[in-house]
Structure 1
Amino acid sequence: MIRYLTAISLALMVYAATARAETLRGSVTNLPIPRFVSIKSDECNVRRGPSLSHKIDWVFTRKGMPVEITAEYGHWRRVRDRDGVGGWVHYSLLSGSRNVIIEEDMLSLHIRPNPDTQVAARLEMGVIARLNECSEGWCRLTAGGYKGWAPQKALWGIKENEIIE
């Protein structure tokens, strides 16, 4: 009986933690945490802590690169890139525009969200593409003047099964 109650208690704690994680909101913006944004400028300092007095660990040098916000503190956002490396960035260096990184080499962009349709372009791994919309496992992207649909699972910068209209 004790084991049974312990198992139920553990299950309830896991469920509560999962529910909290799904509804976590930023203390400053009240926006969901985590969430994806993109780097606004060609140079973006990433610091060890949320202030100008903290050491710069590295600099993002790719405008439009998607990053995931994992925390907020005043005007600072803790972000991580696709490799899981993180740090603090001033909010003015981030954009709410959604971009993704292509995670599959020579990814086909289809004219419709169907693998049997015509290929509009092929994108190399590491290309940054503008995210226009996503539904049912497919995302409409724009990159290098080309537009098309790609499987959501081949992209970094969007949550699994996330819908964007």
Structure 2
Amino acid sequence: MAAVLMTCGPLGAAQGDEARGPVTNLPLPRFVSLKTSEGNVRRGPSLSHRIDWVFTHRSMPLRITAEFGHWRRVEDNEGQGGWIHYSLLSGVRTVLVEEDMAALRTRPEPDAPVLAQAQAGVIARLGACDADWCEISADGGDGWVAKSALWGVDPDEVRD
């Protein structure tokens, strides 16, 4: 595993610099989503490695932690994962609601009216985020949810 982690960032990167993938030059780690309804996750970055895991939820948010050729090392909200072919991944950002009955509010404010509640396990499309709130949409509804109730967005991430 240590050898894989060493390939994550550019050689000679100064401490504090954002790690970049050696294949895409995109930030590591970063979030993506599963493009298909089924994705084989392998022990290593090739078809010859055994399948350890199968992700079965289309649009499931995943965190890319490493790159090797056409393969990406991913993990889910529980830290489970392995290597998956890049063609099974999408740049569309989604999140997983981790707090049961998370309130979807009209505005990014704790006292804003509640539009709906989301059960834990709901996968939603990610919209704008400020320091503490993210706008999400799922099943035709949308609203603002406390960022702390979500997995698939970094705590310090801000999105327009």
> TM-score, with normalisation over the residues of structure 1?
0.87
Aligned to 2:24: 29
**Deviation sequence 1:121-154 (CA, Å, 0-9, x none):** 1000111010011012110000111010001111
Task: Give SS of 1:153's match.
Answer: helix
Matched residue, 1:131? 126
Whichever residue aligns with residue 37 of structure 1, its letter is: V
Q: What is the distance in 1 between the residues matched to 2:137 and 2:82?
A: 28
Q: Find the counterpart in structure 2 of residue 87 from structure 1.
A: 82
Structure-2 residue corresponding to 1:105: 100
Looking at structure 1, the residues matched to 81 and 126 of structure 2 have their Cα atoms a distance apart, in angstroms, of 22
Question: What do residues 65-96 of structure 1 show as CA deviations (whole Å, max 9, x unaligned)?
Answer: 00100000000000011101120000000000
- Which 4+ stretches in 1 moved above 3 angstroms? none
From 34, 38, 41, the equivalent of 1:39 is: 34
Q: Is contact 2:131-2:155 (8 Å) kept?
A: no
Q: Give the corresponding residue for 2:141.
A: 146
Report the CA distance between 1:157 and its aligned residue.
0.4
Structure 1 counterpart of 2:116? 121
| Mapping 1:43-58, distance limit 5 Å | 43-58=38-53
**Which has a greater percent of helix?**
1
d(CA) in 1 for partners of 2:80, 2:142: 30
RMSD (Å) for aligned C-alpha atoms = 0.9
Report the Cα distance in structure 1 between the residues aligned to 2:117 and 2:96, rounded to whole angstroms. Answer: 14
Percent of aligned positions that are identical: 59
Instruction: Give the secondary-structure state (helix, strand or coil) at the position aligned to 1:92.
Output: helix
Q: Are 2:154 and 1:164 aligned? A: no
CA apart distance, 1:115: 1.6
Measured in 2, the distance between the counterparts of 1:86 and 1:94 equals 13
Unaligned runs of 5+ in 2: 1-13
